[in-house]
């Protein structure tokens, strides 16, 4: 399969046409083979209500795919407290990095460790749903609850420029001075086909970036099934996923049960990875639409009767 257009070098500008345009009289528009979003079901989206499978059978458009998706070929970045790459629930990392202190914040490689456990928990949830996904950790938080806004911006900017398919953000900031740059980064990610999955704040306060329309925003429900999620008709939190008493990986190889929107977001990130591994040319707009159509509470009209999708 050739690379999608958004992963290639930008086409040269044609004199005589406005910026961002294409002189189609001289260069034909590229055919864009994408899956039609008709009759979207979980079976169509990722192969059913479980994870796993061999990930084979993917063609250039994502149509006619056989087997259950497992996240193969999808790159996910976890911006958090770091990730313990040796934890059994994580199963290894592609890379581990940290935003280094200094006058100019830089993102540098580091040991795959997590002094807190929060990032390890999120990575373990993603792996449990999409076992073949490629995981990278960028540490932007220090004590599990706080970090500098500058570090968050530096880590997110790096992840967007690196071209990850998905970025899991189980964090947010209430500080409005970071709003303009954070908003610009979220929009840049969207147009680079890098989808941000952000957890809602655990308190009823306004924070960012989960309130941006260019991201997938996630809050919790209290059911035990990791593959059950709901569309929320009253945003800003668009989706509800498992986030109450979730069994998660923790530091020093432990496992605990924890509650929070932080753990709802990686459930949706994992499901997004399943969908993308089956439909590699799907854009963020389409992916969000598929999530909506495959949600457990969305019904479709068939001959006048509404039934579960």
Residues noted as catalytic? 80, 118, 262
- How far out from the chain centre does Cα 298 lie? 21
Burial class for 38, CB neighbours closer than 10 Å (0-12, 13-18, 19+): exposed
3-state secondary structure of 139: strand
Burial class for 203, CB neighbours closer than 10 Å (0-12, 13-18, 19+): exposed
Yes or no: say if 83 and 135 are a contact pair by the CB < 8 Å rule. Answer: yes
Give dist(CA 86, CA 188) in Å, integer: 33
Give dist(CA 197, CA 184) in Å, integer: 16
Give dist(CA 93, CA 249) in Å, integer: 15
| Region of 162 on the Ramachandran plot (φ > 0 left; ψ -120 to 50 alpha; else beta) | alpha
3-state secondary structure of 191: helix
* Tokens linked to 98: 């940290």
Phi, psi (rounded to 5 degrees) for 267: -65, -45
């Amino acid at each position: 399969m050739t690379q999608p257009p958004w992963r290639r070098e930008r086409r040269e500008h044609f004199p005589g046409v406005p910026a961002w345009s294409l002189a189609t009289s001289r260069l034909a528009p590229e055919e864009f083979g994408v899956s039609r979003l008709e009759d979207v079901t979980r079976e169509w989206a990722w192969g059913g209500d479980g994870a796993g499978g061999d990930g084979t059978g993917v063609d250039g458009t994502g149509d006619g795919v056989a087997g259950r998706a497992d996240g193969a070929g999808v790159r996910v970045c976890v911006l958090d407290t770091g990730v313990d790459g040796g934890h059994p629930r994580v199963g290894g990392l592609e890379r581990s990095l940290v935003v280094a202190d200094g006058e100019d914040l830089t993102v540098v490689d580091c040991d795959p460790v997590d002094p807190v456990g929060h990032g390890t928990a999120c990575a373990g949830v993603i792996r449990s749903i999409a076992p073949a996904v490629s995981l990278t950790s960028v540490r932007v938080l220090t004590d599990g609850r706080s970090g500098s806004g500058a570090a968050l911006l530096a880590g997110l900017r790096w992840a967007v420029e690196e071209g990850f398919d998905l970025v899991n953000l189980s964090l947010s900031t209430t500080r409005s001075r970071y709003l303009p740059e954070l908003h610009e980064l979220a929009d840049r990610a969207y147009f680079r086909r890098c989808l941000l999955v952000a957890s809602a704040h655990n308190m009823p306060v306004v924070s960012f970036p989960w309130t941006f329309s260019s991201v997938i925003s996630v809050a919790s429900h209290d059911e035990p099934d990791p593959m059950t999620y709901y569309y929320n008709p009253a945003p800003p939190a668009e989706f509800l996923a498992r986030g109450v008493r979730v069994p998660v990986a923790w530091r020093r190889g432990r496992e605990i049960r924890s509650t929070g929107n932080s753990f709802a977001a990686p459930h949706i990130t994992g499901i997004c990875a399943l969908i993308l591994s089956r439909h590699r040319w799907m854009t963020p707009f389409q992916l969000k639409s598929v999530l909506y159509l495959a949600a457990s509470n969305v019904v479709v009209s068939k001959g006048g009767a509404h039934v579960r999708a």
